[in-house]
Chains A and B, each alone.
Chain A
Amino acid sequence: MMSSNSSSSTRLFPEALRRRVHRAFDGWLRRRGPTLPPLTLHYRQIFILPTPFGWMIALLLHGMLLGSLNFNNSMGLFTTFLVACTGLLSLHLAYRNLEGVRIESVHAEPVFAGQDAELRVALREGAGRARSGIVCLLATGPPLEGVDLAPNGTAVCHLSVSTRQRGVHRLDRVRVRTRQPLGLFEAWSWVHPGTSLRVWPRPAEPAPPRPESSTAERSSRAGDESDEFHGLRGWREGDPLHRIAWKASQRHDQLLARQFTRPERGRLVFRLDAVPAASVEDRLSVLCRWILDAERDGLDYGLDLGWTRIEPGHGEAHRKRCLDALAEHP
């Protein structure tokens, strides 16, 4: 994750030093108060500083103050004070806009390396005040659009995280900030997501041929229409209507359902050490490609990574389990 966000600061400071500072700051944040969702933002979590524009206005006001004081220009002074007080009020309003907002969760769906992951920050308003312009962003990423919260309402902020390396990455802290109402002050809070982002290996392209089902055990079971027609059997509760063989049923005076069998096919177990590739990462990439292809071809497949073994199966959940295992491979 961190490596994916290369910024100019990387060049300025040695990476190790930067990381250490980052970690020290994280530690300080955690000691200050809870930072893990679900989390309601209070003064312990909220920081406020002027924005660059706020500093500019402050400079301008200083000029106005000095000039007006020097010439004892009463109206000039009054203008200065009025603008300054409005500005300070906006400090308070910025704080109030963030205070009492609840961060319910920070969640990211796994992606393949190289894709952009979507981070979803779920927000809930808990104090009965409407909030506007609350923006979530990562420490280094660009700000995206803000969300508004109705009194006691909810909203989800979407953040995009670019990924490069396979693995289970701890999500970096998320900045929840607001610059409302005047853009003079920025109130923000750091939230440690507490969840991880799984990045699956990038599917190898091109990949070496998938091993045939040499280690296969055979099986047969009822499949669906794409499979070959096998015969008829008595209708049972739960059979879909279109499976009913209406004509045959009429002949036999009972409901009959068509029965299909899947052609006999291989059940594969992909072994990490059997992949013809040089490095571990390349092998994992190839495995990823095979898993995707096997799933597409409707095969049963399993995985043997040495430290874990997944029995053959298929389906969305199974595929995800296999890919997660690839991501978690040490």
Chain B
Amino acid sequence: MRTRLTSPTVLVVLAAFLVSVAPHLMAMPPMLWLFVAASLTWRLGAELRNWRPPGRLIRVGATFLGLGLVILHYGTLWGRRAATALLCVMVASKLLEMYRLRDGRMVAALAFFLVATQFLFSQRLELLLWLLASCWLAVAALLRIQRDEDAPRTTPVRSDHVGVMRVLKSGAGQLAFALPFALVLFALFPRLGSPLWGLPEEALDGRTGLSDEMSVGEIASLFNDDSPAFRVTFDGTVPARDRLYWRGPVLWRFDGRTWRRVFYANRPVERVPSIDDDSLRYRVQIEPTERRWLFALDYPARWPDEVRVSANFELLRDEPLTTLTPYTVISEPDFVDTPELSPLFRRLATELPEGSNPRTRERAIELRREYPNDAELIDAVLRWFNEGPFFYSLETAPLGRHGADEFLFDLRTGYCEYYASAFAVLMRHAGIPTRIVTGYQGGFWQAADDYLLVRNSDAHAWVEVWLEGRGWVRVDPTAAVSPSRILDGARGAVPGAGNWLDAEWIFALRNQYDRLQHLWNQWVLGFDADRQQSMLRRLGLQALGVTGQAALMIAAVLLLGPLAWWLLGLLRRDPQRRDPIERAWRRVERRLRRRGVPRAPGETLREWTPRAAGAIANGGELERLAETYSRLRYGRPVPEPAVRRFLERCRRWRPLVDRAR
């Protein structure tokens, strides 16, 4: 019995580790993945070039180095990113001392765990392939390690690449066999209605989604992010594209650079819109963002219990979005938001930092003199934007201290944030209460599956002004400059922007893939306790309870076992049995076995026939049949009718037992 890993085994284990750690590596800072890559490479070299195993000091040093790097980068060991990074680093330093079978087993087992932890971050469809690949290699590694342990001493080690192929094949077979069982468990295993504990709240990477503040020039990074933000299925009519403003954080406070939320806006909504038949009913599946914002059309009237709605009609979840989350909202577009503006909010909505943007201020005073009516003033500004030399572009310059001045009078080229911010500053100087709303605009309509795909690149910012008698009214200055931004999305508004990846057919392909992803999200990732119950109801199995459901699951697995075995038997069936002549003859033998004259294994036909013929009354016929059988089977080819005659005779023949004997 060996206790140390052989060379091919080490390679399989390393491959399993490499594949399972790969997606983690992509999300890690360079120094961490360098650490993992270095230890992997070292172990590989040690195996191929027979480098000396490292001393204890080096191993302990490497472990602490890894720990230090993780703490250095994340500042903590708590939280998902830091914890999984630590896990990767620890397994990587384990590789340095992976010489015994048990170490190899440990690494292979942790590969399974690494796979599972990756799904805390993303559960996209393509990761399914990666899951299968990782599990396959890890199972192959375990097979290979066990083989190492049990191999007879005489088995040569080096000439074992055949052995590696064999474990890969047998690993694939075992995984394929386990797959249907896993699916049954997945469908029937009772789910938790509500979680037992929450995820540690943490700012995850800050890489996706909108933030709850806006510095001009920030959304730009989102425009290049084509990943889906959320998907919407509508009950009933789908609103026109220029009404698809997905409302997110509402920003009040401006310090000259950054728009922020205001504390007072956190109080709950006072007047909830009433709903009627024209209200929009839709279900959103939002990708994890690590933030608590949900998005809805104006104005949300009904929402799920775990969601809070602020006075600004912002939707806030109690927990950050860490998994794909579905929610249903009913929105009422025809609603007057805040008919009476309190003095406090009027002050908040017109506040500007002292002494900033003097030219804009002048312009506002000028406009005010010209248009005493707020609505007319707004129209005038929008006309100015539309007719003046203003351009919509994603490629623009950053702004300085007097951002609105620079933009309105010099730069005049920018995208939604630039326009929204400058417009809001102008309005506030003119004394009109204004706030900025960030969120998403538009989306891609997947006609085939009837859902709206909203990408991160659809991020948008617009303005709401408060008008006497009409409440808060949405104004989108970007739409005034570039209507196509609203009609075709940010990319459509900028001809020639982006890179070769934006080719039409690639875009179409991506949309097709997103349909698959949507189905996946809906049926696999979104398969929660509720969906499970509704599936069971559809099967007519309501009111099973957890115990009943568990019993059903066990019963299904137990049924599946023999079924799978039988199917496998069909596949592996002895090829001889497919031969009709052979099958007919076996039937004859079977009939005799039932009469108590079995043919022993190893007994030839010649030995058995006389014995069997002696035991029954019509032995002569049996001997003739046996003779024909051996002629058909071993002799020259015979014409078809002769074969058919033989088959017929075999089918009809029955042994007759002589009762006298």
B105-138 toward A: CB 8 Å interface, digit per residue (1/0)?
1000100110110011001000110010001000
A145–B191 CB distance below 8 A: no
B131–A183 CB distance below 8 A: no
B135–A182 CB distance below 8 A: no
B116–A64 CB distance below 8 A: yes
B149–A70 CB distance below 8 A: no
Q: Tell whether A85 pairs with B178 under 8 Å between CB atoms, given A72-B191, A147-B152.
A: yes
B322–A71 CB distance below 8 A: yes
Q: Tell whether A81 pairs with B186 under 8 Å between CB atoms, given A70-B195, A86-B174, A89-B174.
A: yes
A133 CA to B148 CA in the complex, in Å?
9
A186-204 toward B: CB 8 Å interface, digit per residue (1/0)?
0000000000000000000
A146 interface neighbour in B135, B150, B524, B525, Cβ under 8 Å: B150
A135–B186 CB distance below 8 A: no
B186–A83 CB distance below 8 A: no
Name the residue among A56, A86, A178 with the largest chain B CB count within 10 angstroms. A86
Task: List chain B residues, Cβ under 8 A from A76.
Answer: 116, 119-120
Task: List chain A residues, Cβ under 8 A from B174.
Answer: 86, 89-90, 93, 181
B191–A133 CB distance below 8 A: no
Task: List chain B residues, Cβ under 8 A from A148.
Answer: 152
Question: Closest approach, in angstroms, between the C-beta of B521 and any C-beta of chain A?
Answer: 9
B1–A145 CB distance below 8 A: yes
Question: Closest approach, in angstroms, between the C-beta of A135 and any C-beta of chain B?
Answer: 6
Does chain A have a CB within 8 A of B537? no
Q: Which B residues between 154 and 206 are near A, CB-CB below 8 angstroms?
A: 170, 174-175, 177-179, 181-183, 185-186, 189, 191-192, 195-197, 199
A144 CA to B419 CA in the complex, in Å?
79
A182–B139 CB distance below 8 A: yes
A3 CA to B123 CA in the complex, in Å?
60
B150–A178 CB distance below 8 A: yes
A57–B116 CB distance below 8 A: no
Q: Tell whether A79 pairs with B152 under 8 Å between CB atoms, given A69-B191, A72-B528.
A: no
A60–B152 CB distance below 8 A: no
A68 CA to B145 CA in the complex, in Å?
28
Q: Is the interface of B mostly helix, strand, loop or mixed?
A: helix
A74 CA to B127 CA in the complex, in Å?
12
Q: Tell whether A83 pairs with B123 under 8 Å between CB atoms, given A74-B524, A181-B174, A183-B149.
A: no
Closest chain B residue to A57, Cβ basis: B109
Closest chain A residue to B101, Cβ basis: A183
A181–B170 CB distance below 8 A: yes
Task: List chain B residues, Cβ under 8 A from A64.
Answer: 112-113, 116
Q: Tell whether A179 pairs with B150 under 8 Å between CB atoms, given A56-B109, A76-B119.
A: yes
B151–A71 CB distance below 8 A: no
Closest chain B residue to A142, Cβ basis: B1
Task: List chain B residues, Cβ under 8 A from A184.
Answer: 142
Does chain B have a CB within 8 A of A17? no
A183–B116 CB distance below 8 A: no
A70 CA to B199 CA in the complex, in Å?
9
A146 CA to B146 CA in the complex, in Å?
11
Closest chain A residue to B177, Cβ basis: A89
Question: Closest approach, in angstroms, between the C-beta of A173 and any C-beta of chain B?
Answer: 20
B189–A77 CB distance below 8 A: yes
A68–B116 CB distance below 8 A: yes
Task: List chain A residues, Cβ under 8 A from B139.
Answer: 86, 182
Contact residues on B (Cβ < 8 Å of other chain), bracket:
35 or more
A80 interface neighbour in B116, B123, B146, B526, Cβ under 8 Å: B116
Question: Closest approach, in angstroms, between the C-beta of B170 and any C-beta of chain A?
Answer: 7
Closest chain A residue to B134, Cβ basis: A79
B177–A133 CB distance below 8 A: no
B191–A180 CB distance below 8 A: no
A71–B195 CB distance below 8 A: yes
Closest chain B residue to A65, Cβ basis: B189
Task: List chain A residues, Cβ under 8 A from B116.
Answer: 64, 67-68, 76, 79-80
Q: Which A residues between 93 and 151 are near B, CB-CB below 8 angstroms?
A: 93, 132-135, 142-148
Does chain A have a CB within 8 A of B99? no
Q: Tell whether A70 pairs with B177 under 8 Å between CB atoms, given A78-B186, A79-B115.
A: no
B152–A70 CB distance below 8 A: no
Task: List chain A residues, Cβ under 8 A from B529.
Answer: 72
Task: List chain A residues, Cβ under 8 A from B416.
Answer: none
Question: Closest approach, in angstroms, between the C-beta of A175 and any C-beta of chain B?
Answer: 13
Question: Closest approach, in angstroms, between the C-beta of A92 and any C-beta of chain B?
Answer: 8
Task: List chain B residues, Cβ under 8 A from A72.
Answer: 191-192, 195, 323, 528-529
Q: Tell whether A82 pairs with B128 under 8 Å between CB atoms, given A72-B191, A143-B1, A147-B152.
A: no
Does chain A have a CB within 8 A of B143? yes
Question: Closest approach, in angstroms, between the C-beta of B122 and any C-beta of chain A?
Answer: 9
A118 CA to B79 CA in the complex, in Å?
58
Does chain A have a CB within 8 A of B470? no
A82 CA to B179 CA in the complex, in Å?
6
A308 CA to B566 CA in the complex, in Å?
64
A73–B192 CB distance below 8 A: no
Q: Tell whether A135 pairs with B1 under 8 Å between CB atoms, given A72-B192, A86-B135, A89-B174.
A: yes
B123–A82 CB distance below 8 A: no
Does chain B have a CB within 8 A of A25? no
Q: Tell whether A145 pairs with B153 under 8 Å between CB atoms, given A71-B199, A73-B120, A81-B185.
A: yes
A192 CA to B579 CA in the complex, in Å?
45
A237 CA to B103 CA in the complex, in Å?
70
Does chain A have a CB within 8 A of B631? no
Does chain A have a CB within 8 A of B335? no
Closest chain B residue to A59, Cβ basis: B109
B146–A133 CB distance below 8 A: yes
B525–A179 CB distance below 8 A: no
Does chain A have a CB within 8 A of B527? yes
B182–A180 CB distance below 8 A: no
> What 7 additional pairs, Cβ within 8 angstroms, besides A71-B323, A72-B323, A76-B116?
A53-B102, A75-B524, A78-B186, A79-B135, A93-B174, A146-B1, A147-B152
A residues within 8 Å of B by Cβ?
53, 56-57, 60, 63-64, 66-86, 88-90, 93, 132-135, 142-148, 178-184
B residues within 8 Å of A by Cβ?
1-2, 102, 105, 109, 112-113, 115-116, 119-120, 123, 127-128, 131, 135, 139, 142-143, 145-147, 149-153, 170, 174-175, 177-179, 181-183, 185-186, 189, 191-192, 195-197, 199, 322-323, 524-529
Can you report 30 residue pairs joining A to B where beta carbons are below 8 Å apart? A53-B105, A56-B109, A57-B109, A64-B112, A69-B192, A71-B195, A74-B186, A74-B525, A75-B127, A77-B186, A79-B115, A79-B131, A80-B116, A81-B183, A83-B135, A86-B175, A86-B178, A89-B174, A90-B174, A132-B150, A134-B150, A135-B1, A145-B150, A148-B152, A178-B150, A181-B170, A183-B105, A183-B142, A183-B145, A183-B146
